[in-house]
Structure 1
Amino acid sequence: MRGIRSFNSISKRCYAARRSGSLTEPLALRIKSAAAPLTPQNVQVSKLPNGLVIASLENYSPMSSVGLFVKAGSRHETVESPGVAHVLRLAANLSTKGSSAFKICRGVEALGGSLSVTSTRETTVYTAQCLRDDIPSLLEYFSHVTTAQEFRPWELDDLTARVKIDKALCNVDPHVGVMEKLHEAAYKNALSHSLYCPDFMVGRVSSKEMHAFVQANFTTGRMALVGLGVNHSVLRQLGEGLLSSRSGPGAPVARAVYRGGEARIHSRDDLVHVLVASESAALGAAQANAFSVLQHVLGAGPHVKRGSNITSKLTQGIAKATSQPFDASAMTASYSDSGLFGVYTISQAAAAGEVIRAAISQVRDVAEGNVADADISRAKNQVKVEYLMSLEDCEGLLQEIGAQALMTGTYQAPDAVLKAVEAVTPEDVIKAAKSFVDGKKTMVASGLLVNTPFVDEL
């Protein structure tokens, strides 16, 4: 505080210091030299001969972001080595062939940058950020982390505690547990694999299994290199040089097979979570937009802070069926070859049965054509705004460009996405609702399930 107060003691004479040069005209008449306007850039996408897709957007930001998107999520695990994708996500800061873990950490921090890894059931994403001028130095560490992993056994052993912490956090959150069980019950293979390492594999994932997973999946034919605030030629150089050793299509990917089923997680918790879903459209399919609109017609969560989403059909319908407090929303999840759509309710154990039945009744009501054009128009607006808001920050924009580049090898501008959403008709929404009503159901329930019906009773 002494240093801050010292600024207040500066003499006012400092501000009256005479400028060098005489003032011969009023300041208002002086025209500032304007910098040359920056030319707006579009997303550039190219594909190298080795199959690597490169996408970049020069947004003239002082902060540059680079992401490597790899088709190496939990669905690509083998039956013999479940949990490898989870350990891989935590192993990003381990020693590599070119740098020790300490050198990577110190080097990235010295640049004021960041290096992180996220993963889904389908992809693993390495993201690096730093000031524009430091991007060449950061890419050196980035290439080590993504292409020169060593997975030393003693370092993998040290990750066991972090794996246990992740699993403990998963068990504490009922929502995460329900979503994991939903995929396990809904699919026979691939998408049934959990994002988290199973208990019997904690501390037992070997260095050999890690290397086998990387060799099978970290190939240029299954990668997309994306940059924001980075010159496209710089990314091409990185892809041609540093990723050349990973050329190839990679191991074949098993197609997800939906089966439907049920999982019940019994506990003494009086707050019951119930999720009922059926198979929907795959990512990129025309019908996927119809399911997104249907989700917002039914209610995808409150749009007003601390609101109760009273305008949604689910909330209105369930409120007529029970006086007990509840929370209800529709959910949708799309993957490259399948998708899930369902209704999620949270209620007291005594009212769990009537709440979930009332929620499904609202979907059935839409399937019968009882939906107003105004509701569909509102839902379209919500879908479009939600999509545009996701592109407002660098992280969301990087994820969107990377997801499209990895799946299709191209990039679809936001205008085209908005037109596709606007093209959804009431008939498409009704068809999507019928698909849920007539489809084979998957149900997951967690809590005190005394009054919770089974899936065949709905």
Structure 2
Amino acid sequence: MSSKSIATPLLRQITTRGYAQAAPARKDVRIQSSVLPNKIIVAGVDNGSPITRVTVAFKAGSRYEPQTELGLSHALRSAAGLTTKNASAFMISRKLAQLGATFNASGDREFIYYTIEATQENVDEAIQYLNNLISNQEFRPWELSDNTPRLKFDIASLPPQVRAVDLLHRAAYRRGLGNSIFIAPKKIGKISSESLQHFASSTLQPGRCAVAVVGDSKDKAAMLAQALQLPSGSEAQSAASNYFGGELRKEMGGDLAHVALALQGAPAGSKQSLALAVAAKALGNGPVTKWGADNTPLGKAIGNIGPFAAAGFNVSYSDNGLFGVVLSVPKDEAAAAVKAAAQCLKNTNLSGDAIKAGKNQLKLQVLSEVDCNGQLTESIAAQALYTGNAKSPVEIAAEIDQLSNSDVSQALTSASKCKMSMGAAGNLAFVPYVDEL
């Protein structure tokens, strides 16, 4: 063990110097977008990456699930990559492996994202398989039955903080945006192939689709968009999700309480949403150095109560949003910590230094997407479906710079007038109820 600890830094230094070269000039990340005659929005940016990433996004998130068939969205993204009308799951997996390509499906309350990654020389062939995986889905009952262990694992591996945020959405919106991203355990194995096929046919449609490409021009996105064979007909509808405010708790035992508190936020693409995103970073996101003290406004408000974790967050959807904090604290300290976090969330007088720090941290997060092309393609596709256009991380960072302290204060004042919502999971013996905050 001692020889390894001595050798590792030396080897790292040798390889770093031995393969050192001038860094290639990064291309200007300028996003080009348009709407095709078939109503599919396409966007692309050639940033000089040797890897091309293509994301096809649909308005097929959990908010579009009928109340009698909750869990369809989770089942749909979990079934991505199974046998299609033209090829078996084994053949698709083998061919993508031979190309050195990877495929994955992810989703949230608004969208489902199908993403493929491949090298420049193999991307055209990889796109054909992506087209097949989207256009020719065929949900066979025996394959859905074989897929139940994956769904069970998804549910069993959920962190308690994610459960708290999920409960928060249900308490805040009840239905629509309140629908859980995850299938209920009692529904696993109960969703029929007919129900899943109907949901896919009503949500995976051209007017609900955006194609984003990073590492190539938008022409590549247009080529895929024109090749997609998507159904047309009646679309899944979702009424506007009104913010009600409320509380849901899930007692899970253990030594910790995980609590998510939120006020009503703002829709995606609005100036107020951007201001609340700055405010969420300004409230705090934990220590900025390893083992360091949490000197953020949120950390100071909670005080010295023992080990805890707390962070502000802001999520925006097409017609609404949530601005809040999520914290994990020892069960015995939960009462004081949750009340302090609630008071901090209602505070509309953030200092200029805190807002400045929040803007810098948010810009860092946004600009980091340039180096993580997987996140960038999903971000571009989501923007296209939200607003019909897509902005580059550099453009968004410029908008953050233009926000004034008064913009952030006004957004906080507007949010503080709303009823508070809470989702809690873990040992809740000492967690106060929302009407006690």
Taking structure 1 as the reference length, the TM-score comes to 0.85
CA shift, 1:357, in A, is 1.4
Within the alignment, does 1:326 sit opposite 2:301 as a pair?
A: no
Percent identity for Structure 1 against Structure 2: 34
Does 2:143 match 1:143? no
Counterpart mapping for 1:329-348 below 5 A: 329-348=311-330
Scaled by the length of structure 2, the TM-score of the pair is: 0.89
Q: Please report how far the alpha carbon of residue 231 of structure 1 lies from its aligned counterpart in structure 2 after TM superposition.
A: 4.1
Task: Check whether the contact 1:52–1:239 (CA below 8 A) recurs between aligned residues.
Answer: yes
Question: Are the counterparts in 2 of residues 380 and 422 from structure 1 also a CA contact under 8 Å?
Answer: yes
The whole-number CA distance in structure 2 between the counterparts of 1:39 and 1:423 is 24
Q: 1:323 to 1:81 in 2, by over 3 A?
A: closer
Range moving further from structure 2, 406-415 or 132-141: 406-415
Per the TM alignment, residue 247 of structure 1 is displaced from its structure 2 partner at its CA by 4.7
Taking the TM superposition and a 5 Å limit, the aligned residue runs for 1:47-196 are: 47-170=35-158, 173-196=159-182
Aligned mates of 1:267, 1:216 — CA distance in 2: 37
Per-residue deviation at 1:95?
Answer: 0.7
* Residue 434 of structure 1: aligned partner: 413
Q: Distance in 1 between matches of 2:258 and 2:235?
A: 39
CA–CA distance in 2 between the matches of 1:298 and 1:213?
Answer: 40
**Mean CA deviation greater in 264-273 or 117-126:** 264-273
Tell me which moved more, 122-131 or 341-350: 341-350
- How far apart in 1 are the matches of 2:393 and 2:36? 25
The 2-side partners of 1:386 and 1:99 are apart by 40
Residue identity matched to 1:204:
K
Q: How far apart, CA to CA, are the structure 2 residues paired with 1:260 and 1:234?
A: 44
* Kept in 2: contact 1:50–1:248 (CA 8 A): no
Q: For 1:249 and 1:66, how far apart are their aligned partners in 2? A: 27
Residue 362 of structure 2: aligned partner? 383
SS at match of 1:352: helix
SS at match of 1:204: coil
Q: How far apart are the structure 1 equivalents of 2:37 and 2:383?
A: 19
Q: Deviation digits for residues 201-255 of structure 1, max 9, x if unmatched?
A: 1101111111111111111111011112334334323322333x43568333321
Shift of 1:435: 3.4
| Runs of at least 5 residues in structure 1 that lack an aligned partner in the other structure | 1-36
Does the alignment pair 1:313 with 2:301?
no
* Contact 2:251/2:427 (<8 A) preserved: yes
Do the aligned residues in 2 keep the contact of 1:51 with 1:247 (CA within 8 Å)? no
Displacement, 1:421? 1.4
Give the structure 1 partner of residue 336 of structure 2: 354
Structure 1 residue 452: deviation in Å? Answer: 1.9
Residue type of the alignment partner of 2:418: G
For 1:142 and 1:152, how far apart are their aligned partners in 2?
19
Per-residue CA deviation, residues 334-375 of structure 1 (Å, 9 max, x unaligned), is 1111111112222222221111112222334x42x3x32222
Is the CA contact 1:220–1:249 (under 8 Å) kept in the aligned structure 2? Answer: no
Cα displacement (A) at 1:39: 7.8
Task: Say which SS state the counterpart of residue 210 (structure 1) adopts.
Answer: helix
Contact 2:73 2:181 in 1 (8 A): yes
Contact 2:31 2:391 in 1 (8 A): no
Change over 3 Å in CA distance of 1:109–1:375 after alignment to 2: same
Contact 1:265-1:447 at 8 Å conserved across structures: yes
The structure with more radius of gyration: 1
> In the TM superposition, what is the alpha-carbon distance from 1:433 to its structure 2 partner?
2.9
* 1:197 and 2:183 are equivalent in the alignment: yes
CA distance 1:163–1:361, shift in 2 (3 Å): same
Amino acid corresponding to residue 48 of structure 1 in structure 2: L
Q: Deviations over 1:49-86 (max 9, x none)?
A: 11011111223332221110111111111112111111
Amino acid at match of 1:425: S
Change (3 A) 1:135 1:305: same
Does residue 268 of structure 1 match 2:247?
A: no
- Please tell me the residue identity of whatever aligns with 2:379: E
Instruction: Return the alpha-carbon distance in structure 2 between the equivalents of residues 299 and 291 of structure 1.
Output: 13
| 1:251 aligned onto 2:236 | yes
For 1:288, the equivalent position in structure 2 comes to 273
Q: Counterpart of 1:79 in 2: which secondary structure?
A: coil
- Tell me the number of residue pairs that the alignment of Structure 1 and Structure 2 aligns: 413
Specify whether residues 56 and 96 from structure 1 end up closer, same or farther in structure 2 by C-alpha distance, changes over 3 A only: same
Deviation at 1:446, TM superposition (A): 2.4
Secondary structure of 2:261's partner?
Answer: strand
Q: Distance in 2 between matches of 1:48 and 1:453?
A: 52
Q: Structure 1 residue aligned with 2:203, among 208, 217, 237?
A: 217
CA distance in structure 2 between the partners assigned to 1:397 and 1:264 by the alignment: 34
Mapped partners of 2:103, 2:310: distance in 1? 37
Counterpart for residue 387 of structure 2:
408
Instruction: Quote the Cα distance in structure 2 between the aligned partners of 1:314 and 1:118.
Output: 31
CA distance in 1, matches of 2:29, 2:435: 54
Give the secondary structure class of the aligned counterpart of 1:175: helix
Question: What pairs up with 1:26-45 in 2 under 5 angstroms?
Answer: 42-45=30-33
Residues 277 and 436 in structure 1, CA contact (< 8 A), matched pair in contact too:
no
